[in-house]
Amino acid sequence: MIKKTFDQRTETFYIVFKQGKHAIARFLKPNFSHIYILKKDKYNWMLIDPVRSRLAVDILAIPTEQDAVRALMGKLDHALKIDFYHRDTASQFGYVGLLNCVTWAKYILGINVLSLTPWRLYKRLVNMCDHDKIKFGIKSVQRI
């Protein structure tokens, strides 16, 4: 049994799974071919979207009191709310993988799980065992 003590501060990320518009999207599970991440601080919502040629980061013109996740999601999109304990920023592992939206999302979230597609990442996060949650400092994972 792993026992770790965590700082009581938390940070929340919202990861949205949607249908992508790239050529390989037709070979992936429908509505699980692209990922973007939303994060909120006291003043702003931030959108982190790994597109084909770059990592797009935008501050949204949506007040923090509003639910930007539901405002941006399409009817067929899926989202997870992931609460992390405050973690040490020194990484204990490196990142290896294709340079795609899944690898970017895992890097931004600070998790190192075996998944190459958005569907696999979604299933891995939803079904994560307590041991892995402790390992990555995850407090909770909730479907939205």
| Contact between 16 and 72 (Cβ < 8 Å) | yes
Full strand arrangement of the beta sheet holding 78-86: 55-60, 45-50, 34-40, 7-18, 78-86, 138-143
**Residue 26 DSSP label:** G
pLDDT of 95: 60
pLDDT of 13: 95
**Residue ranges of the chain whose pLDDT lies below 70:** 1-8, 25, 88-97
Q: Return d(Cα 136, Cα 130) in angstroms, integer.
A: 10
pLDDT of 120: 94
pLDDT of 84: 92
Place of tokens 């079904």: 127
Can you give the pTM of this predicted structure? 0.84
Place of tokens 């931004």: 108
pLDDT of 110: 87
